[in-house]
Structure formats: C-alpha cells, structure tokens
Amino acid sequence: MKITQVEAIPMRIRREEAYLGGLPPGADREAYFLRPPYRALYSAYFETAFVKISTAEGVVGWGEALAPVAPEVVQQIVEQLLAPALIGRSPLDVNVLWNVMYDLMRERGYYGGFMLDAISACDIALWDLCGKILGQPVYQLLGGAYRQRIPCYVSGLPRPTAEERVELALQFTNAGFNAFKLAAGHGVRADAKSVAALRDALGDEATLLLDAHWVYSLDEAVQLGHALTDLGVGFFEAPINPEDVESHAQLAAAVAVPIAHGETERTRYQFRPWLMQRAADVLQPDVGRAGVSEVFKIATMAEAFNVKMAPHLSVGLGVCIAATIHVAAAMPNLYLLEYQPPVFEIANQLLESPLVCCDGGYEIPAAPGLGVALDERRLRQLQA
C-alpha cells in the first residue's frame, strides 16, 4: 500500500467570542491583533490546517497542525516540501517518514515553528492511516491504554473579573469538573488574588493551575511561585521567556509549586535540556506541533526523569483533539489533559460523530485510527 496524494486544507471559522474571551478595543476582526499583556498574535477566528493523506486503495488518513495564525504557511510547506517526500512511500513506515520529513530542512536550521507544525500534521495523518489499515485504534498501536478515560482540566476561564471566573468555574463544577487553569500573567498580586478567589470558592479538593504566558522575570516568578505553593496550585505554567532554560531551572529549585513548560517546543531534542537541567516538573508538548510520534517519545524520555506530562491542547480542532486523547491514553506518566470548551464545541461541528468530554474526562475514540471522521463537505465550505 502506497501513498498517492497529500493535501493540506487551511481554514478559518468566525466566532463571536475570540479565543481567551472578547476582542480588545480597536481590534480589527479581519486582521490579527495583540492582547496585552501577552505578546503573541491572536486571531478573531479559529484557524487551523488539516492534512489529508490518501492511498491507491482509497484509505484516507487525516492530520491537523496547531495553526492559530497563518494556516496557509503550513499548507505551502506540506504541499511543496513534504508531499513529494511522502508520495510513493508506505504509510506504515510512520517513524521512518517522520525522520525523512525532519531531515529535509534540518541542516538549514528549521528545528521548530511552521516546519514542525506541518510535519506534525502529516505525522498525525500517517498514524490515522496506520490504524485504519491495521484495524486498530492509535492508542493500541502505541502499546495500549493505561486508562479508559483521560482526566482533564477546564482551561482559561475567559471572564474579565474574579467573580465571573468563580461563577464560570462553579458551573463546570456542577457538571462534574474539578480542575481549572487560569489564563493569567496580569501581575504577581493580581494573579495570586485570582487564584485565591477560586480556592476560596472551590475548596481544597479542586485542582488549580496557572498559565502566566511568559510575562515574568525570574524574581517575579519566584515571588508568585511561593504564593501559588501556599494556595496548593498544581502547576505554574510558562512563567518566564521560553528560551531561558537556566532561569526556569533556578525557579524550579527555588519554589515547591511544579513548573510546567512545553507548548513552544516541538521535538525531543528541544525538551532534552529542560529535563537535564531539571527546569520543568511537567512537560506540555502539543500534538498539533510535535505530532503523535514525537509527543510519545517525549513522554517516554520524561518518564525516565520522573516528570509528568500534561499535553497542551488549545485551539486544535477535532483531529488534533482526537490524536492527543490517543497519545494521552498510551503514556504512563500523564497528569492531566487540557480541555477548552469553546474550541471543543467548534471541533465537534466538523466531525460526523462528536468527541465526548464530560464529568472531568475525555472518552477515548475506539474505532480504528484516530476514531473520528471529518465532515469533509462542511470542511470544504470553511476552507480559507
């Protein structure tokens, strides 16, 4: 069985409420915008890039890159650089093909970013193909499931005030969820107060997490880390610029709250110094940026350091979510998986049968491959 076609499909879905809440004043809905205090570009749309890999026998595998901005870049990389290297090859050679794709631009320094996002989308599609060809779900191909449901945390709580965030968290608590992550980074005192408000309302049994979006200096992060320790926070995510491994190592040594890192990294090579320097207690690779192959290898490497995994899962839609669930099921050192309710709702609109997340956990799709089928007609209507 050989690969005969590789197609990338960029898409945008308009939403009335942008990711992480409403648009800032003056933001143009037709363009990308900044959301202070965060420094990254955001879009008023949900944007992604799907990859469809087909064989001569008519078997199709679907992949998806986490592409929250400029999904057309992923499309060009897939169709111009990766597709020629895949066509004519066996989709069962999934690990071989990851290395083939990675080596295409390795000597030119493309170790991350859009190049690895595009490779990841193809890698996910290849695993989906393998499962369909062999009649097995992806988690089984990875060695089996350690758990029947994937425990998750509600991510973001995108409301402007502490009172509204507490109200939203209580709604999810009533629906069976008991773990929550704040999208913070608004100053040491403000972040500590936000977490304290949730702790007071939800009690000691709730798992609380904080994402600082890389806004703090080392000294500020140490100060906030001590406060988060006192509040019983499960992890302190992205406190300092992601390039600064050494400061994260100093922070991890100085505070008891676990330090989480990883959505910026793509490969085991990039995660290795974080483990060697004990700079992170929880790793957060994103399957839409690292692929099934690399995330599973990263998890295996982390296990040797007694480091837990909490895969990042933000605006990836149905295929990316399904792939992440399968990898999470197969890793022994899973902590929690991210759950973005507004994104999950959009993702299910693109699937023929919806994914299920309820009572604090994801159900694992059981059909061969990723266990999900995209509504291709709907997908083509939304193609960018």
Catalytic residues: 312
Bridge partners (DSSP) of residue 63 are 51
List the structure tokens of 108: 């030119």
Q: Please state, as a whole number, how many other Cβ atoms lie within 10 Å of the Cβ of residue 362.
A: 23
How many other β-carbons are positioned within 10 Å of the β-carbon of residue 12?
Answer: 15
In angstroms, the CA 157 to CA 24 distance is: 17
Cα–Cα dist 287/328, whole Å: 10
Q: Tell me how far apart the alpha carbons of residues 210 and 346 are, in angstroms, rounded to a whole number.
A: 24
Instruction: Provide the 3-class DSSP secondary structure of residue 44.
Output: coil
Looking at the DSSP bridge assignments, the partners of residue 362 are 150, 357
Task: Provide the strand spans (E) within the chain.
Answer: 3-14, 33-34, 41-42, 45-55, 60-65, 149-156, 179-183, 207-211, 235-237, 259-261, 282-283, 308-309, 337-339, 357-358, 361-363
CA distance 89 to 189: 56
CA distances from 44 to 20, 184, 212, 353, 379 (A): 10, 20, 21, 26, 19
Q: Tokens 């995994």 — which residue? A: 309
